[in-house]
Amino acid sequence: MRARIGTALLFVGIPLLFAGVALGGEGVQVKITNDGTQDVVVTVYDLNTRPRHVVLENAHINGFTSVPVNVIADAAGHANIAWIATSTDGVTVKC
């Protein structure tokens, strides 16, 4: 079941806008940051691999905490990821 996109998703999207380009065939390091007070559970997929590779699975990220992950770079040196983020609050679940 997919819930509507909420503010919890912003903590993941904003750092991805500033992800660097990989040089020399290296991977790209992306920092997943929870910039709110509510804890979240995050799963991150690397879309540059076939089949998609899970790089972070059901990780519980506390408020104001960051988790670095490494993903494979495409031919242009950019990361291509997808994620699912849900709150840990059983009453007001967001994603």
Task: Take residue 87 and report the two structure tokens written for it.
Answer: 């709150």
Among 68, 73, 82, 86, smallest CA distance to 26 is for 73
pTM of the model: 0.69
**pLDDT at residue 88 in the model:** 87
Per-residue pLDDT of the chain (95 residues; tens, 9 = 90+): 344 444 444 444 444 444 445 554 578 999 999 998 899 999 999 999 999 999 999 999 999 999 999 999 998 999 999 999 998 887 766 65
